[in-house]
């Protein structure tokens, strides 16, 4: 007589541990060699920026944007964007003369599929009227902040049992209320 096969759970699949994220690439499925090549390419782009990129970067360094900072030539997934604000999920792409528009649109679509909004700005607009560009950017940032807050409220309403307490800053933790006065050395 033949043995009957029965279904059984895979012991490895039954574990409650979450799968480990990749060390590099922040969870994106990118090989180490590809990621290293992207970072090297971004580094090279930072060294040899266009005039429009330099002008916008200078405005960002002088502006006080609080927690919303823009990183130049940032690697996001398998793409390099001109500026990226991680807190807002906002990427800025500067359209230079002679770039491949089909490739840029495909990259934008892949970034938007994971929740990163891409704002395209023509290099000529930055060089001719940077104040109008900054005004448009401010409007997009405000809209994005509103979207993110609304999404957070909806998530909190949908998950009432989940804790949303944030860790206290270093100085406010238990036992670290007030800084101590330096000890005096005794003469003896």
Query: Can you tell me the mean pLDDT for 7-27?
Result: 51
Whether residue 151 is predicted with pLDDT greater than 70 in this model: the reply is: yes
Whole-number Å distance between alpha carbons of 9 and 7: 7
Q: What is the pLDDT at residue 2?
A: 67
pLDDT at 181: 59
Q: Are 29 and 114 in contact, with CB atoms under 8 Å apart?
A: no
Asked if residue 81 lies in contact with residue 119, where contact means CB atoms within 8 angstroms, the answer is no
Instruction: Determine the average pLDDT of the residues in 117-146.
Output: 93
pLDDT of the residue at 7? 56
Whether the predicted pLDDT of 45 surpasses 80:
yes
State residue 117's pLDDT score.
Answer: 92
pLDDT of residue 18 exceeding 50, the answer is no
Architecture of domain 32-157: 3-Layer(aba) Sandwich (3.40)
- Inter-residue long-range contacts of 59-64, CB under 8 Å, 24+ positions, other chains counted: 59/130, 59/134
pLDDT band with cut points at 50, 70 and 90 for residue 21: very low
Summarised one tens digit per residue, pLDDT across range 71-123 is 999 988 888 899 999 999 999 999 888 778 888 888 888 888 888 999 999 99
% pLDDT > 70, the chain: 72
Greater model confidence, 165 or 117: 117
What is the SS3 assignment for 98?
coil
Q: Where are the domains of the chain?
A: 32-157
The per-residue pLDDT for 168 is 67
Task: Give dist(CA 102, CA 171) in Å, integer.
Answer: 50
- What's the mean pLDDT in 16-45? 72
Instruction: Give the number of residues written for the chain.
Output: 188
pLDDT of residue 78: 83
Mean of all residue pLDDT scores within the chain: 80
Q: What pTM was estimated for this model as a whole?
A: 0.68
Name, in order, each residue with C-beta under 8 angstroms of 60's C-beta and a sequence gap of 6 or more: 69, 70, 83
Tens digits of per-residue pLDDT, 172-187? Answer: 655 555 555 566 665 5
Count Cβ neighbours within 10 Å for each residue of 91-127 and write b for 16 or more, e otherwise: bbbbbeeeeeeeebeebbeebeeeebbbbebebeebe
């Amino acid at each position: 007589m033949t043995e009957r096969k029965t279904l059984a759970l895979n012991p490895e699949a039954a574990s409650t541990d979450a799968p480990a994220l990749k060390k590099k690439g922040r969870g994106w499925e990118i090989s180490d060699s590809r990621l290293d090549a992207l970072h090297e390419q971004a580094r090279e782009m930072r060294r040899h920026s266009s005039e429009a990129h330099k002008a916008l970067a200078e405005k960002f360094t002088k502006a006080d944007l609080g927690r919303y900072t823009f990183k130049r030539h940032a690697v996001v997934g398998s793409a390099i964007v001109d500026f990226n604000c991680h807190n807002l999920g906002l990427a800025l792409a500067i359209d230079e003369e002679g770039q491949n528009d089909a490739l840029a649109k495909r990259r934008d679509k892949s970034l938007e599929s994971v929740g990163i909004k891409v704002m395209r700005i023509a290099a000529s607009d930055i060089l001719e009227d940077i104040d109008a560009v900054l005004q448009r950017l401010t409007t997009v940032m405000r809209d994005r902040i509103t979207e993110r807050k609304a999404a957070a409220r909806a998530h909190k309403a949908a998950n009432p049992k989940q804790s949303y307490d944030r860790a206290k800053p270093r100085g406010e933790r238990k036992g670290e209320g007030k800084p101590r006065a330096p000890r005096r050395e005794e003469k003896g």
